[in-house]
Structure 1
């Protein structure tokens, strides 16, 4: 990749299948691909799905979002950075009511302050990469 000084990946099968890396550092900026709720092997707190592959309930939204922030923090640490260095996040959720109900407390805990100093956008989407996913977030950090 032209201009990339360093990249990081999880080694999960979907990176190879889709053809991407999880994080790219260019200059003083680290770009994280959309982070989902996984532990490096399996999905964490997957939503139950019906026969058509649609999530049937969204009560695991907070649990998934906590794992998303944990994964982002781990990737950032590989670059000597932390969530304190995040300047922008974009959160994608299949249920806007669920993310608005749980997102604030989870975000505040992840950033360790009542007023996270990060530009944030929330976008509703009918589906994410896997049917069991309720939320995904991408991040930009300056180091």
Structure 2
């Protein structure tokens, strides 16, 4: 197994600001940083927030989750991989009930099967990188 490292980026401003890459391949394992709902330039389906930055509506969770999987698939392609190679995911959710309701259908759609063969964990969190984010998903793939 090679110890050579390959990386991939989306090219979003927060990569440079925070100082990280979106994905790292070491040997036969690809580690993806938490993927959020963006299209490369803008947040996708941002949640409405009040004047204090608190989310006022969680109904866009499925749409954000769908974009997280799309962004992960894009990164995996840069390593010659796909969501079929994912072995583990962690979903970080601002509202676990909303994420739980969205996750089943969205995950099955993303993985293209009724029983995704992926170890999955969901964690509730009070905040993500941007106040308008409802979910973030971290992935590990083997290629």
Q: TM-score range by the shorter chain?
A: over 0.9
In structure 2, relative to structure 1, the CA distance for the partners of 1:50 and 1:15 (3 Å cut) is: same
Partner of 1:89: 89
Partner of 2:121: 121
In structure 2, relative to structure 1, the CA distance for the partners of 1:57 and 1:43 (3 Å cut) is: same
Structure 1 residues without counterparts, runs of 5 or longer: none
**1:1-12 aligned within 5 A:** 3=3, 5-12=5-12
Q: Provide TM-score, normalisation by structure 1.
A: 0.97
TM-superposed CA distance for 1:54, in Å, is 1.0
Number of residue pairs aligned between Structure 1 and Structure 2: 141
Tell me if the contact between 1:6 and 1:26 (Cα under 8 Å) persists in the aligned partners.
Answer: yes
Give me the whole-angstrom Cα distance separating, in 1, the residues matched to 2:44 and 2:102. Answer: 17
Structure 2 residues without counterparts, runs of 5 or longer: none
Partner of 1:60: 60
Q: State the Cα deviation string for residues 43-85 of structure 1 (Å, max 9, x = none).
A: 0000000001111110000000000000000000110000000
**1:1-143 aligned within 5 A:** 3=3, 5-143=5-143
Q: State the Cα deviation string for residues 71-122 of structure 1 (Å, max 9, x = none).
A: 0000001100000000000000000000111110000000000000000000
Give me the whole-angstrom Cα distance separating, in 2, the residues matched to 1:141 and 1:88. Answer: 7
* CA RMSD between the two structures: 0.7
Q: Provide TM-score, normalisation by structure 2.
A: 0.97
Give me the whole-angstrom Cα distance separating, in 2, the residues matched to 1:27 and 1:53. Answer: 41
